[in-house]
Structure formats: C-alpha cells, structure tokens
A and B are shown apart, each in its own frame.
Chain A
Amino acid sequence: MVPTNYYVILSAILFGLGMFAFIFKRNIITIFMSIELMLNAVNLAFVAFSQALGKLDGQVFVLFVIVVAAAEAAVGLGIIILIARSRQTLNVERVNLLKL
C-alpha cells in the first residue's frame, strides 16, 4: 500500500509544474495544455483521497472534472482558432489589442 501522502505530494508537484508552465510559456496552445495539466493534478488528489477515505465521491467528482475539461477544451480551442485567424499569431504577447 502506497501512502496517500505520496500521491498528494506528486499531485502538488504536477500542479506546480503546470502553474509554472502557465506563467512561463508564450504559445497560447501550450498555455492551454498547462491548464489541462493542472486539472489532471487535481484529479489525482481527488482519487487518492477517495481511496484513503474509502468513499467513492472523489471518483465521481473526477468524472465531472473530466467532462468540464472536455467542454472547456472544445470552446477554448475554438477561441484559439479565432485568435489565430484575426491576429495571425499564436504568441500571447502579440495579442495586445487592449493594451495602452
């Protein structure tokens, strides 16, 4: 039996890496992928606690998170296609229409 702590620590590491990628990356598609990485890290914590507490609520929540992530990916990638079409770039620094 692997201690639950290990899973939670791994989840925290993955979430931190996802957050760093979100701040550091400049390609809008990669930024979107780092959001998915953070969602995955949270899912791992959910399943780990679900197993630790002997209840299945966590696993049901993971299914809901996956559904929301799928919907978010569909809409987000639509927005990315729009941005790429109107600005001719995927670099977030070039998307500066609201900047003074």
Chain B
Amino acid sequence: MTAQLAVFLVLAAMAVTGAVSLILQKHPIHSALSLIVVMISLAGLYLLLGAEFVAAVQIIVYGGAIMVLFVFVIMLLNAGIEEHTSISKMAGAPGLLLVVALAGFVAATIARSTENIQATSQTGELASTLGISNMLFKDFVYPFELTSFLILVAVLGATVLAQREKS
C-alpha cells in the first residue's frame, strides 16, 4: 500500500463518515457541521488528484461562503430538532432500496469499464492552474461570461425573495 492510497483511504473514510453523520444528526446545525467535514475532505482529495485550484475554490466557496450562508439561515430561523411522523419513517425503506439500486448500477458499470479507465490514469502532472485559466478564458469564455449574468440574477432574486413585504 502506497502513501497516496493511505491518504486516499483516510480522506474517503472522513467523507463517508461526514455524509452518514449528516443523515443521523437530528439538529440541522449538526448536519451542517458534518457537511463541512465532507467538503474539507473532498478538498483534500482534489489536492491528491493534483487539482490545487479546484481544492482552493472548494474550501473558499463551499466550506466558506455557502456553509456560512447555511449556518446563518439556520440561526436566523431558529431551526430546532426535526420531527419524524410515521409516514416519513416509512420513506426510509424505499429510499434505502433506491440508493442500493443506484449503487449496484454504478458498481456494475465501473466493473465493466475497469480497463478503459485505468489505461490512461498515469498522465497527471499538468500545469493545473495555468491550464484551467487558459481554458476558462479562451475555450469557455462565453459560458464564463454567462455565469456573471447568472450570479446577478441570483443576487436580485434572493434580495426580492427575502425582503419583507411592505404593508
């Protein structure tokens, strides 16, 4: 077992534990903290994959901005412990079935395409951030500009939605 594989296993275990904890926790603020654990370990996995820029963006945007927004809203609305009725407990069984079906489907697909994926997996070591900026501002410049409109519309929409009605 190489050092990289060991690091991967530790980070993967952290991510899965965080995701399970998100489901098991009753209070939304605990779920939010579990989700932060998942995001930080995913940032570590991106580093392991040689995607430094994506790892930095993951921590700044996901771990920072989005999760602060979530925690802020949880505190603003004073969210309490969630309550489960008998019907919502029943939803767990078909949900579990669906998830197992999905996992089986994905595992079968991966198992069939093993050679194809592994054949080219030795071509890392790209100048990652330089390459990303080249693609982002040359090949993907129109989608990139469109995202600024998306952000603008989202800001306007959130402001309009969250303001109090004038009475």
Contact = CB atoms under 8 A, between A and B. Distances in A.
Interface of A: 1-10, 12-21, 23-27, 29-30, 32-34, 36-37, 40, 43-44, 47-54, 56-57, 59-60, 62-64, 66-75, 77-82, 84, 90-91, 93
B69 A29 contact: no
A82 B51 contact: no
A6 B114 CA distance: 11
A70 B66 contact: yes
A57 to B, nearest CB: 7
A74 B107 contact: no
- Judged by DSSP, the binding face of A is helix
Contacts of A30: 22, 28, 31, 82
| B2, B98, B106, B107, most chain A CB atoms within 10 A | B106
A24 to B, nearest CB: 5
Contacts of B91: 23-24
A82 B4 contact: no
Given A2-B8, A63-B54, A90-B79, A10 B102 contact: no
8 contacts: A1-B2, A10-B45, A13-B103, A32-B70, A56-B126, A70-B65, A90-B82, A93-B88
